[in-house]
Amino acid sequence: MEMDELLTFLLLRFALIAGVVLLVIAAVVVAVVLLRRAGRLDEASRYVAPVVRRSAANRRGAVGLAGRAAAQYLDSRNDRDRDRDGR
């Protein structure tokens, strides 16, 4: 395998991975918007929160950092909802 073939392969691999990541992000954004419009975002976040916390505890690096940030956001959102509702 020559150098130009190797670089082409690496560039294609990077483009495919980046495309998949962008598709996943777009799917999550669409799901959040649809849940918010349907008024079921709070219910969905109650189901997702334990999964996010459990997976964030087991991860390191950027994935763990993103998971911990999501868990922290969900906790602060739950605290605000509790304060607003007076519970």
- Domain extent for 62: 58-87
* Domain contains 1: no
- For residue 60, is pLDDT > 70? yes
Spatial CB neighbours of 56, under 8 Å, sequence gap ≥ 6: 64, 67, 68, 70, 71
Number of domains, the chain:
1
Residue 15 confidence (pLDDT): 96
> Where residue 84 falls among pLDDT bands split at 50, 70, 90?
low
In a domain, 66, yes or no: yes
Residue 50 falls within a domain, yes or no?
no
Instruction: Tell me: pLDDT of 87 over 70.
Output: no
85 falls within a domain: yes
Band the pLDDT of 36: cuts 50, 70, 90: confident
The answer to the question of residue 87 being in a domain is yes
Is 73 a member of any domain?
Answer: yes
Tell me if 70 is assigned to some domain: yes
The two tokens of residue 7 are 């670089």
Give me the pLDDT at residue 40, please.
86
